[in-house]
């Protein structure tokens, strides 16, 4: 039964409406607050927001602290997230028009957050007129922008090579790292006979699948045809109709010889760190910048070393994969785009590039000779100096679909669900999509 006291009267309605209005205003002011932190002014200064990958935090922290001394009125608020989460979040923010002033961007093409996907959409600020760009090696410059302009900063080049356990090599009677493909196979066989796993392969973590093919391709597919990436873009070559089949055949040669750990598809990246660190496995083909977790897993840090993956038949023909690191771009729609560009210009100084590169175990893009690179990178610097490097292949693929198709395809290859021709066909299909 409804009594008088529970009936709604006009004043109750006004109260409800008033409360809702207060609620909405509260929400509104919340947005305003976050606006002011992302771009507003604080006591006459400017606050710039910066979002980057977790692995780069060690590089950003000292640089941001140093910039406070250079530009005291600029405060940089940094936040970090793992790569895949960051890419997702940034793309959503870019779509919604509330991206940070400065954010991580990836060189070349091939992923949804790569600079050649962002620049044509007008989302990143043009920094072509900055002086540091002149010092970037010619071959790498196009990867930092699109259609002849530069849109992002990157500090370094990250080579892919072999992280190996010296003790396992010694125990198997190997005195120095292999220099040719045949030596590699012979050494791997020795390691296997000594009861150890030659290669720790963690294909369960998707991005790991690409490392071995990338290590093999520069000395095979790209040695046959140095312009392969461009030829593929021009539709003159394809995965099927190029040296890529050699890449995957060599991959399968290693697998069929039993040189991988048991069940590579069920093994994770983290498990490979344990395998190599603990000496159960001898080698992991990796981006050298991933050295820290391997060192953390090692009983004795001096057990671990690096060498270039010897994919060529002779040492002087060897070329290595070296990709420009993820870097930083300024949002074109930021209220403080000029301040953000000034920060990027400052980052371009050789000493700042060196600081960042050293902290992230990679080789500085500018002034590599003068900078004291980490010993684990020493085996790779001669290849950069003599231009015997090939950029990471996905940085020159035309869309964001080839790379995931490559990840899944390698897993299928190892699982026996496809063969080399099948994989090449899948990759060509992904490549030809819009």
Partner 1 sequence: VTIDVIGRAAVEPVRRRRARRAGSPALWFAAPALGIYALIVIYPSLAGAAYAFTDWSGIGAAHWVGLDNFKQLFTDDQSFGSLVNTIKLTVFVVIVQNSIGLLLALGVHTLIKSRNVLRTVFFAPAVLSPIVLAFLWKYMFNPAPDAGLNALLGFLGLDFLQQNWLGDPSVALWAIGITVVWQFTGYSMVIFLAALQGVPRELEEAAELDGAGRLQRFRHVILPLIAPAVTINLTLSTIGGLKLFDQVFAITNGGPGYSTETLSTLIYKQAFVFGQFGYSTAVALVLTLLVAALALLQLRYLQSREVTY
Q: For the window 180-209, what string marks contact with partner 1 as x by the rule CB under 8 A?
A: -----------------------xx-x---
Residue 155 C-beta: closest distance to partner 1, Å: 26
Contact flag: residue 424 with partner 1 (CB under 8 A) = no
**DSSP string covering 77-93:** EEEEE-HHHHHHHHHHH
Tally of CB atoms within 10 A around 283: 31
Cα 419 to the center of its chain, rounded Å: 28
Contact flag: residue 15 with partner 1 (CB under 8 A) = no
Residue 369 C-beta: closest distance to partner 1, Å: 38
Q: Which residues does 109 contact at the CB level (< 8 Å), separation at least 6?
A: 115, 116, 117, 394, 395, 396, 397, 398, 399
Contact flag: residue 8 with partner 1 (CB under 8 A) = yes
Residue 215 C-beta: closest distance to partner 1, Å: 21
Contact flag: residue 30 with partner 1 (CB under 8 A) = no
Of the two residues 45 and 95, which places its CB atom closer to partner 1 in the complex?
Answer: 95
Contact flag: residue 11 with partner 1 (CB under 8 A) = no
Cβ atoms of 111 and 87 within 8 Å: the answer is yes
Residue 330 C-beta: closest distance to partner 1, Å: 16
Contact flag: residue 230 with partner 1 (CB under 8 A) = no
Contact flag: residue 20 with partner 1 (CB under 8 A) = yes
Would you call 18 exposed, middle or buried from its count of C-beta atoms within 10 A (0-12, 13-18, 19+)?
Answer: exposed
For 391, phi then psi, to 5°, come to -60, 155
User: Using CB under 8 A, which of the segments 2-10, 64-72, 215-223, 297-305 binds partner 1?
Assistant: 2-10
Of the two residues 357 and 410, which places its CB atom closer to partner 1 in the complex?
Answer: 410
DSSP annotation of 198: E
- The residue assigned the tokens 């606006």 is 35
Cβ atoms of 253 and 420 within 8 Å: the answer is no
d(CA 337, CA 307) in angstroms, rounded, equals 42
Contact flag: residue 276 with partner 1 (CB under 8 A) = no
Contact flag: residue 268 with partner 1 (CB under 8 A) = yes
Among 38, 180, 267, 290, binds partner 1 (CB under 8 A): 267
Contact flag: residue 264 with partner 1 (CB under 8 A) = yes
d(CA 403, CA 430) in angstroms, rounded, equals 9
Q: Which residues does 32 contact at the CB level (< 8 Å), separation at least 6?
A: none
Cβ atoms of 336 and 102 within 8 Å: the answer is no
Residue 418 C-beta: closest distance to partner 1, Å: 8
Total of chain residues touching partner 1, rule CB under 8 A: 42
Q: For the window 244-263, what string marks contact with partner 1 as x by the rule CB under 8 A?
A: -----------------xxx
Q: For the window 372-411, what string marks contact with partner 1 as x by the rule CB under 8 A?
A: ---------------------------xxx--x--xxx-x
DSSP annotation of 1: -
Contact flag: residue 425 with partner 1 (CB under 8 A) = no
Cβ atoms of 216 and 251 within 8 Å: the answer is yes
Cβ atoms of 116 and 108 within 8 Å: the answer is yes
Contact flag: residue 415 with partner 1 (CB under 8 A) = yes
Which residues in the 67-106 window bind partner 1 by CB under 8 A?
87-88, 91-92, 94-95
Residue 119 C-beta: closest distance to partner 1, Å: 12
Cα 236 to the center of its chain, rounded Å: 28
For 96, phi then psi, to 5°, come to -85, -5
Interface ranges with partner 1 (CB under 8 A) = 2, 7-8, 16, 20, 87-88, 91-92, 94-95, 111-112, 117-118, 121, 123, 203-204, 206, 261-268, 271, 399-401, 404, 407-409, 411-412, 414-415, 417-418
């Amino acid at each position: 039964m409804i009594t008088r006291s529970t009936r709604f009267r006009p004043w109750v309605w006004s109260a409800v409406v008033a409360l809702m209005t207060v609620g909405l205003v509260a929400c509104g002011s919340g947005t305003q607050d976050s606006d002011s932190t992302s771009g507003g002014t604080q006591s006459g200064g400017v606050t710039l927001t910066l979002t980057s990958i977790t692995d780069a935090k060690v590089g950003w922290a000292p640089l941001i602290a140093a910039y406070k001394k250079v530009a005291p009125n600029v405060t940089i608020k940094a936040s970090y997230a793992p790569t895949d989460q960051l890419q997702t979040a940034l793309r959503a923010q870019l779509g919604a028009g509330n991206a940070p002033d400065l954010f991580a961007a990836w060189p070349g093409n091939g992923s949804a957050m790569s600079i050649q996907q962002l620049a044509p959409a007008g989302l990143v600020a043009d920094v072509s007129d900055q002086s540091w760009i002149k010092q970037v090696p010619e071959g790498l410059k196009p990867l930092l922008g699109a259609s002849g302009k530069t849109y992002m900063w990157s500090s370094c080049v990250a080579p892919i090579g072999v992280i190996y356990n010296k003790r396992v090599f010694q125990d198997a009677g190997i005195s120095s790292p292999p220099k040719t493909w045949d030596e590699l196979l012979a050494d791997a066989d020795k390691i296997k006979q000594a009861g150890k796993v030659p290669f720790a392969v963690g294909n369960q973590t998707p991005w790991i699948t690409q490392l071995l093919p990338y290590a093999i391709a520069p000395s095979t597919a790209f040695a046959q045809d140095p312009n392969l990436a461009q030829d593929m873009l021009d539709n003159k070559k394809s995965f099927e109709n190029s040296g890529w089949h050699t890449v995957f055949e060599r991959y399968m040669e290693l697998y069929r010889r039993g040189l991988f750990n048991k069940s590579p598809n069920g093994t994770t990246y983290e498990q490979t760190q344990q395998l190599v660190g603990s000496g159960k496995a001898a080698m992991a083909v990796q981006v050298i910048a991933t050295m820290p977790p391997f060192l953390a897993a090692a009983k004795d840090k001096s057990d671990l070393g690096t060498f270039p993956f010897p994919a060529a038949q002779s040492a002087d023909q060897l070329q290595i994969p070296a990709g420009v690191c993820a870097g930083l771009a300024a949002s074109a729609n930021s209220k403080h785009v000029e301040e953000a560009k000034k920060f990027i210009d400052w980052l371009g100084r050789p000493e700042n590039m060196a600081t960042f590169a050293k902290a992230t175990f990679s080789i500085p893009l500018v002034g590599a000779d003068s900078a004291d690179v980490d010993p684990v990178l020493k085996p790779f610097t001669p290849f950069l100096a003599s231009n015997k490097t090939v950029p990471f292949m996905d940085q020159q693929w035309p869309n964001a679909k080839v790379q995931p198709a490559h990840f899944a395809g390698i897993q299928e290859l190892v699982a026996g669900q496809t063969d080399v021709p099948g994989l090449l066909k899948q990759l060509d299909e992904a490549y030809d999509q819009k």
